[in-house]
């Protein structure tokens, strides 16, 4: 009986903590749709960014959107705001050929190579804010929350 009670208590604590994560980047509208060929983001290692709306339907997140075709061939989108700085004017730089993006303000390096956006140096304790990507059969990609 004691084991069952302990197990249930641990399970309750684990499940109740799942919904409490809050990013330092606020919830803002995110919606961008483009054809992959038109933004030259077709192959692993390709990146594309947008920091201000170009179409009436664009909503560019908190500090802009960085779209990455990662080394696993999947598409990932991140807010360009550094979570350590948490200001729309403090954007990460575009990533290098290894898909590492650096914040020029705090110096943190974020690894985007497999879509995680995790900090590498330990300056920041949270990854880049990630947005959903939906790829249609005709080659359009939609970035949204």
Question: Is 15 among the domain residues?
Answer: no
Question: Is 7 among the domain residues?
Answer: no
pLDDT band, residue 128 (cuts 50/70/90):
very high
- Asked if the model's pLDDT at residue 7 lies above 70, the reply is no
Domain that holds residue 100: 24-144
Question: Is 134 among the domain residues?
Answer: yes
Q: What is the CATH number of the domain that holds 71?
A: 2.102.10.10
pLDDT band, residue 22 (cuts 50/70/90):
confident
Write the CB contacts of 87 (distance below 8 Å, at least 6 apart in sequence): 63, 81
**How many structural domains are present in the chain?**
1
> What predicted TM-score, i.e. pTM, was given to this entire model?
0.84
Question: Is 46 among the domain residues?
Answer: yes
């Amino acid at each position: 009986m004691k084991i069952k009670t302990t197990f249930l208590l641990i399970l309750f604590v684990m499940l109740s903590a799942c919904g409490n994560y809050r990013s330092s980047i606020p919830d803002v509208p995110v919606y961008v749709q483009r054809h992959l060929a038109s933004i030259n983001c077709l192959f692993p290692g390709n990146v594309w960014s947008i920091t201000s709306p170009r179409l009436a339907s664009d909503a560019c997140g908190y500090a802009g959107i960085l779209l990455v075709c990662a080394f696993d061939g999947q598409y990932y989108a991140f807010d360009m705001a550094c979570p350590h700085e948490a200001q729309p004017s403090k954007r990460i730089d575009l990533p290098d050929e290894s898909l590492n993006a650096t914040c020029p303000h705090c110096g943190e390096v974020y690894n985007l190579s497999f879509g995680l956006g995790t900090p590498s140096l330990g300056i920041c304790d949270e990854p880049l804010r990630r947005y959903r990507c939906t790829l249609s059969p005709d080659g359009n990609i939609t970035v949204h929350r």
